[in-house]
Copies of this chain bind each other. A is one copy, B any other.
Amino acid sequence: MAQKQLVIGMFGFGNVGRGLYDVLNTISSNEAVIKRICVRDITKERGIDADFTDKPDYIFNDKDINLIVELIDDAEAAYHIVKRALQSGRSAVSGNKKMLAHHLPELIELQQKHNVALLYDASACGSIPVIRNLEEYYDNDLLVSVKGILNGSSNFILSKIFNENYSYDVALRRAQELGFAESDPTLDIGGWDSLFKLIIITVHAFGCYVSPEKIFTYGISTMNDNDIRFANEKKRRYKLVAHVEKLDNGKIIMSVMPQLISRDKYIYSVEDEFNGVVIKGKFYDKQFMFGRGAGGHPTGSAVLSDITACFYNYRYEYKRMFDHAPVEYTDDV
């Protein structure tokens, strides 16, 4: 079932790009090699012997390159790279949740039209294979809800505040130093990063795409000492929770907001940069998946799983989107 070796043209060499590079070098894969890496600043010293370029054409015009791996921060640029990849008949792997959350319907159409794969498990929850499991395993009418801590940096900040009495600013700076926070931290602490992941997850969970502006989103940036004291008094912790649930009327509701979580909940003990997702179904009750949701190497490993899946001709089938009656979104809770 395997195809010929994947020759990768990569965009971006930040935290995750570097992680992928390390991971691929460690396992010395026969399935995939990185041929060329497109970066913004080609003069920067990176200490490795690879073929860097700052010209996208130098990747797209190379007929040997049959897979585009896009790991850059800029959502707009990422969109054009992935679109161009699919239109050129190449499969693509992307980690850019902001881009995906805004452009998924068009990109799904494009990948089907050009008969190529677009994989992005790395975009939601780093090393936890939540998309793949929703797509492959929980793809039936038993699914009731998906709820989780999807953003490693805001969770890291909350953990430091609640467990180690860090101030908000110090905790944020520490998260950035460790490489958990995106270059623009408002995406993390404003809840947007969680929202983007929730939108992607919902496509695979319920076959329904909902655009970002429709969904109630409230981050942790306004959290203050009173909130923290209140939570401690109640023996609870604030967690930034993303949530999609199917109502009895068949419609789905979605939200991202801080919630007071009691000790008996699975996500109570999700600390630091970890992510945790609770998948609830009618008969199997709750499934809990837990792992590193951020960081170069864990996310790089997730990108590797997408690359391996490409090698074995895997594609998301969007069964719930195309084989079933459409599910509707409602904000009428």
- Pick the residue among B1, B2, B142, B304 that contacts A301 (CB under 8 A): B142
A290 and B288 contacting across the interface, CB-CB below 8 Å: yes
A127 partner residues in chain B, CB cutoff 8 A: 281, 284-285, 287
A287 and B128 contacting across the interface, CB-CB below 8 Å: yes
Interface residue SS majority, chain A: mixed
- Interface assignment of A132: CB less than 8 Å from any CB of chain B: yes
With A312-B319, A319-B312 known as contacts, the answer to whether A142 contacts B285 (CB < 8 A) is no
A137 and B305 contacting across the interface, CB-CB below 8 Å: yes
- Pick the residue among B129, B138, B289 that contacts A288 (CB under 8 A): B289
A309 and B136 contacting across the interface, CB-CB below 8 Å: yes
Closest to A132 in B: B137
- Interface assignment of A148: CB less than 8 Å from any CB of chain B: no
With A2-B323, A317-B1 known as contacts, the answer to whether A138 contacts B305 (CB < 8 A) is yes
- Interface assignment of A140: CB less than 8 Å from any CB of chain B: yes
B291 and A286 contacting across the interface, CB-CB below 8 Å: yes
A323 to B31, CA, bound (A): 11
- Interface assignment of A48: CB less than 8 Å from any CB of chain B: no
A312 partner residues in chain B, CB cutoff 8 A: 317, 319
A333 partner residues in chain B, CB cutoff 8 A: none
A26 to B308, CA, bound (A): 36
- Interface assignment of A302: CB less than 8 Å from any CB of chain B: yes
- Interface assignment of A54: CB less than 8 Å from any CB of chain B: no
B266 and A290 contacting across the interface, CB-CB below 8 Å: yes
A287 and B289 contacting across the interface, CB-CB below 8 Å: yes
A285 and B298 contacting across the interface, CB-CB below 8 Å: yes
B284 and A297 contacting across the interface, CB-CB below 8 Å: yes
Closest to A137 in B: B129
A304 partner residues in chain B, CB cutoff 8 A: 140, 142
The residue among A19, A140, A319 with the most chain B CB atoms within 10 A of its own CB is A140
A26 partner residues in chain B, CB cutoff 8 A: 141-142, 282-283
- Interface assignment of A139: CB less than 8 Å from any CB of chain B: yes
- Interface assignment of A300: CB less than 8 Å from any CB of chain B: yes
A301 to B292, CA, bound (A): 27
A298 to B142, CA, bound (A): 11
Closest to A283 in B: B297
- Interface assignment of A22: CB less than 8 Å from any CB of chain B: yes
- Interface assignment of A165: CB less than 8 Å from any CB of chain B: no
- Interface assignment of A23: CB less than 8 Å from any CB of chain B: yes
- Pick the residue among B1, B23, B129, B285 that contacts A291 (CB under 8 A): B285
Instruction: List residues 303-333 of chain A with CB under 8 A from any CB of chain B.
Output: 304-305, 308-309, 312, 314, 317, 319, 323
A259 partner residues in chain B, CB cutoff 8 A: none
A136-B136, A266-B290, A288-B290 known; 16 other A-B pairs, CB under 8 Å? A2-B323, A23-B142, A26-B141, A27-B141, A127-B281, A127-B284, A128-B287, A133-B133, A138-B305, A139-B305, A140-B304, A283-B297, A283-B298, A285-B292, A287-B289, A312-B319
A contact set with B: CB distance below 8 Å: 1-2, 19, 22-23, 26-27, 29, 121, 126-129, 132-133, 136-142, 266, 269, 281-292, 297-298, 300-302, 304-305, 308-309, 312, 314, 317, 319, 323
